[in-house]
Amino acid sequence: MDKPTGDDRQLLRRIAGGDRQAFTQLYVRYQRLLFNYLLQLTPDYGLAEELLQDTLVAVWKNAGSFGDRSSVQTWLIGVARRQAHNTLRQRKIPLANEPDRAVPGGAVHRFCRVLRAAPTSPIELTIKYGGKMSLDRLRYEVQLMGRRVILTPVLVMASFALLAELLNYLHTNPARTLSAGLELILPIAAGVVVATVISHDPAIELQLTLPRQYHQTGLLRVFLIAAWTTCIALLTSGIIVALNLGFMPQPPQTLPASLQFLMGQLVWLAPLLWLSGFGFCLALLLRSRSASAALLGGIWVVEIIFKDVLAYYAWLRPALLFPTTLLPLVGRLPQVYFDIWLDTRLEVLATGLVLCLIGWLLLRNPEGLLKGASEE
Amino acid sequence: MEIKIYHLNKIYRGGVHALVDVDLSIPSGMYGLLGPNGAGKTTLMRILAGILRPTSGSMQVGEQDGNTERGRTAIKRILGYLPQDLGMYPDLSAREFLDYIGILKGIDERKIRQQRVEELLEVVSLTNVANRKLKTFSGGMKRRIGIAQALLNDPKLLIVDEPTAGLDPEERIRFRNLLSDLGGNRTVLLSTHIVEDIAQTCRNLAIMNNGQVIFQGTTVELASETRGKVWIVTTDGAKPEGNFTVVSTLNMGTTIQYRVVGELSEPAGVISAVPTEPSLEDSYVWLMREKRSPVKALV
Amino acid sequence: MNQLPVFFGVLKYEFRMQIRRPALWITMVLLAVLITGAGGAFRELLTYQISSISLVEMVVRWTVRMNFIFPVGVGVLLADRLPRDRRTRVEELFWSMPGALSARMMGKFFGSMLAALIPLLVFYVIGTGCILYHTQDLMTLPLALAAFAVIVLPGMLFISAFSIACPAILWVPLYQFLFTGYWFWGNMLGPRVGIPTLSETILTPAGGYMAAGFFGVPAFQIFDFRVTALQGMESLSLLLGITGLVMVVLWCFLKWQQARQ
């Protein structure tokens, strides 16, 4: 073992005090060793497994009697030996030497014997209540949403890059087009993807019976989609700024450069959050991905056609999603324009967060989620 | 692990009365839930699993009170659930799916979880296809994965809804043995309309119809209810007339043997009528005929 | 076997399926609310003085206003019809039946498109009713009918064809989102912005050329008053021709896909 033995003694002490985590660690460290030892006592794989479980139960019960005598390893082997001798004597072995495969359901019987034997199985002891968010979990969430979710923002920005190249070739300034791609197209793509993913979870009935709350899972998925789109957007934005093709309003030069850059990112971050949150809510209310996509599309076209109406009324400004590209600086002082622009961006950002919150609240209704599972 | 259900009612929006004043006491071991489609079995199991909330009534699972949010979450931790329509994520492989469900069930340590997944894959004998994507799986394989995921956290309460649907006879027997072996301290609630599955494994059962429990007790009690109502009637070819249900027909060449459940008067053309020991299927048919009075055995 | 009853049968079935979809009605109603609220469409109608513009202009303006975003709804909602057959597992069943693929396809196309047009028609009739009420001129009705047939329908056929056909190869949400972008790019984004668009060509499905050519009313970036009726005809026939072409390509593709299995 590559861990110092002093560590193991401490583990046994903690196990004596009822520490399940310590038991888990000891189990992980020593079970291979104990199993190999038991295999020497009986060649029957299944019986060896059963003896292992008996040994572990005995360890859990008798950890207090360790007493620091010899090494932990020797003590564990001793416990295993005693358990094995007891059991083998009771059973009046030997059993016939059948390989497991020949007995139909051999693995099944072994498994069940093992389950019945232990009053508290090692698996139960390892279950963490209120566990942490692991990297494995994030990986699986992304994987189950499908590769298309990852590809969509990448494809969108790639096509806009190509378009910019084309414009360059035609001797037109691609700055406004690139800004359009970032501000107009990327957020709606994210919104449609969120609506598609949230409106249909194939394993929803199973998910609702698991101890992890489903509203956490749903919010996590929305967050992952938005986060991935954010990465793509940041990358693109960085490239745009580096190539000096920025089409954003100029922040006051008195602020540090990093803050200026961050403020510039509000161009796409605000509509991204807004459209993602809106797609989230639509998916949960309508439970149909086509209807959600249609309405998102409708909102998008309305935003573009009626941009002046939206800019005019103060109470509509939290829904003014695309001012940068559509209502650029015209006949106004840059400073004043920037302040107004920043205000609208923050309003839209706040509205987006509120929409996400509403979506999260809507997720807490399991009956509604189940009913919607069989739509269309 | 005993489950007690008191006066459970469930009314869906639209006025559908799915469960009507259900009172059940489920002991540990195998427990069968029998009934026609639409009887409310799935609704009852969903309420036990914490997916749905009852309109009124209460339930107790072991020491956990099923009426509070905390209680429900505590029940979910010791629960293994296999729904009738098991949907899965088509882009994950079998191993990844089980690993993911393991994470959601709270098995955080990667090594232990992976070991557990391997164990269960071997139990359902899907080890050699474990890396294939779930969308390539057949119906029977998907059901086996469903069983595997239900057992991941070594549940004290196992709820299975139509588990053997889509399994071939060998798999079905295997699965039955698996469930019976799990008994002991655990409660396995098996809901199905394959009477054979319950007859072979459960001592206790409940029969539901139209949202009500029309019988709960042991198979022995159910058989004693039906004793004297099951006959083997041999005729010369004509179907016997009377107030009974024909359960099966056997053509013996010159005569035809009918197994009937019900009241036997003296119909014409009958060569012989022999009373016989009722099977579980016969008892079920008898009870369904007696829809009027719900029977509660003395448990 | 005569394919005509098959065609009508499929049409009726697809129509009923689509019209019963709550998603269809909710979407169309909400789109109507959007266009009414945001565009002030009704307000315009109700406050126009009768003497200021001609009846023709009023009717065409109303038709054009309606054609802004409703086609987005129609296109997006029709996009999942073809993949739905595969999802609900009836595709296999259909292939085993004697009905010809062409009859089924055309039935699906017309059936779902007609069902999607019903809410649109309802809204259109309401608007026409308002115009009628204000002008008290019975010429409104035939004008409205003509305007709808010539401005709205060709475009609808065009986008329905693409919405039924493209999801055979594209992921449905991707198509829906591309389609929305296309509708805007192909109709409202003029080439003045710098990128080449189809907006001011005769290929614009929103009916700009028809509106301008037949009725002399400028719409959808077609501001050139020298647009003739001939150009309107060209636009109409081009749209219808492409519709037919797309359906033929779809038929060939499905046949090829089936043979490959």
Taking an 8 Å cut-off on Cβ atoms, the answer to whether B106 and A134 are in contact is no
Taking an 8 Å cut-off on Cβ atoms, the answer to whether A294 and C80 are in contact is no
Residues in Cβ contact with B195 at an 8 Å cutoff, skipping those fewer than 6 apart: B34, B280, B281, B284
Residue C258 has pLDDT above 80, yes or no: yes
Average pLDDT over residues C201-205: 69
- Chain A residues touching residue C193 (CB < 8 angstroms): 176
- Residues C104-129 as b or e (16 or more Cβ within 10 Å = b): bbbbbbbbbbbbbbebbeebbeebbe
For domain A5-126, give its CATH number from 1.10.3720.10, 1.10.1740.10, 1.10.10.10, 3.30.360.10.
1.10.1740.10
d(CA A129, CA B79): 14
Whether the ω angle into residue A94 lies within 30 degrees of 0, i.e. cis, is yes
Q: In what order do the strands lie in the sheet with B17-26?
A: B17-26, B3-11, B56-61, B64-65
Pairing of β B256-262 and β B244-251: antiparallel
Q: Do A298 and C30 touch, CB atoms closer than 8 A?
A: yes
Identify the band that residue C122 occupies on the pLDDT scale cut at 50, 70 and 90.
very high
- Check if B64 contacts A (Cβ < 8 Å): no
Q: What's the pLDDT tens digit per position in C239-251? A: 889 999 999 999 9
Residues in Cβ contact with C192 at an 8 Å cutoff, skipping those fewer than 6 apart: none
What residues form DSSP beta bridges with B248?
B259
Classify burial at A189, counting beta carbons within 10 Å of its beta carbon; exposed 0-12, middle 13-18, buried 19 or more.
Answer: buried
pLDDT at position A93: 62
Instruction: Please name the residues between 18 and 57 in chain A that touch chain B, using a CB distance below 8 Å.
Output: 24, 27-28
User: Residue C222 carries which DSSP code?
Assistant: B
pLDDT at position A99: 35
- Chain C residues touching residue A177 (CB < 8 angstroms): 194-195
Ranges A140-154, A219-233, B247-261, B283-297: which has the least confidence: B283-297
Report the interhelical angle of C22-39 vs C101-135 (nearest 10°): 40
Which among A167, A295, A301 is the nearest to C195, CB-wise? A167
d(CA C138, CA A314): 41
Which of B225, B228, B232, B237 lies closest to B269 in space, CA to CA? B237
SS3 assignment, position B57 = strand
Q: Tell me the longest C-alpha to C-alpha distance in chain B.
A: 73
- Token code pair at residue C162: 């693409």
| Closest-CA residue of chain B to A373 | B87
Amino acid making up residue A72? V
Which among C79, C173, C184 is the nearest to A301, CB-wise? C184
What element of type H or E holds B212? Answer: strand B212-218
Ranges B267-276, C23-32, C205-214: which has the least confidence: C205-214
- Check if B90 contacts A (Cβ < 8 Å): yes
Q: Do C13 and C111 touch, CB atoms closer than 8 A?
A: yes
| Closest-CA residue of chain A to C18 | A376
- Check if B36 contacts A (Cβ < 8 Å): no
d(CA B104, CA A125): 16
Residue C188 has pLDDT above 50, yes or no: yes
- Check if A310 contacts C (Cβ < 8 Å): yes
Residue C246 phi, psi dihedral angles, 5° rounding: -60, -40
Tell me what the pLDDT averaged over chain C comes to: 80
Residue B99 has pLDDT above 90, yes or no: yes
Nearest chain C CA: its distance from A104 CA (Å)? 36
| Closest-CA residue of chain A to B148 | A108
Is chain C adjacent to chain A, meaning 3+ CB pairs within 8 angstroms? Answer: yes
Domain ranges of chain A: 5-126, 135-372
- Each residue's pLDDT, cut to its tens digit, for chain A (376 residues) gives 344 456 788 888 888 887 777 787 787 778 777 877 887 777 777 777 778 888 888 888 888 787 766 778 888 888 888 888 888 777 766 543 333 333 334 455 555 555 554 445 666 666 666 656 788 899 999 999 988 888 888 988 888 888 888 888 877 777 878 888 888 889 999 999 999 899 888 899 999 999 888 989 999 999 999 999 999 999 988 888 888 777 777 777 777 878 877 888 888 899 999 999 999 999 998 888 888 888 888 888 888 877 777 777 777 778 888 887 777 765 566 777 788 888 888 889 999 999 999 999 998 888 778 876 545 5
pLDDT at position A330: 59
% of residues, chain C, pLDDT over 70: 79
What element of type H or E holds C251? Answer: helix C229-260
| Closest-CA residue of chain A to B185 | A116
Q: In 10 A of CB A4, how many CB atoms?
A: 9
- Chain A residues touching residue B85 (CB < 8 angstroms): 205
| Choice between C194 and B23, residue whose per-residue pLDDT is larger | B23
- Check if C167 contacts A (Cβ < 8 Å): no
Which of B158, B150, B83, B72 lies closest to A370 in space, CA to CA? B83
Q: In 10 A of CB B251, how many CB atoms?
A: 9
| Closest-CA residue of chain A to B117 | A123
pLDDT at position B248: 87
Q: What's the pLDDT tens digit per position in C138-167? A: 878 888 888 888 888 888 999 999 999 999
Alpha helices in chain A (DSSP H): 5-16, 20-41, 45-62, 72-91, 106-117, 122-126, 135-145, 147-169, 175-180, 186-199, 204-208, 214-242, 257-286, 289-305, 307-312, 323-326, 334-362, 366-372
pLDDT at position A3: 47
pLDDT at position B293: 47
- Chain A residues touching residue B110 (CB < 8 angstroms): 136
Which among A24, A136, A204 is the nearest to B112, CB-wise? A24
Average pLDDT over residues C72-89: 85
pLDDT at position A102: 32
Identify the band that residue C85 occupies on the pLDDT scale cut at 50, 70 and 90.
confident
- Token code pair at residue B101: 């469900």
pLDDT at position C197: 63
Q: What's the pLDDT tens digit per position in B23-73? A: 999 998 889 999 888 888 989 999 999 888 899 999 999 888 888 888 888
Report the interhelical angle of C153-165 vs C101-135 (nearest 10°): 150
- Check if A293 contacts C (Cβ < 8 Å): yes
Amino acid making up residue A103? V
Average pLDDT over residues B143-159: 90
Residue B265 phi, psi dihedral angles, 5° rounding: -100, -160
Report for A128-142, A362-376, B118-132, C78-92: range of highest mean pLDDT? B118-132
Q: Do C150 and C207 touch, CB atoms closer than 8 A?
A: yes
For CA atoms B111, B116, B119, B125, give the dihedral sign. Answer: negative
Nearest chain B CA: its distance from A231 CA (Å)? 24
Per the structure, how many domains does chain C have?
A: 1
Domains of chain B and any CATH numbers: 3-223 (3.40.50.300), 228-276 (no CATH)
Range of the domain at C53: 3-260
Q: What is the ipTM of this complex?
A: 0.84
Q: What's the pLDDT tens digit per position in C38-64? A: 656 555 555 555 556 677 777 887 888
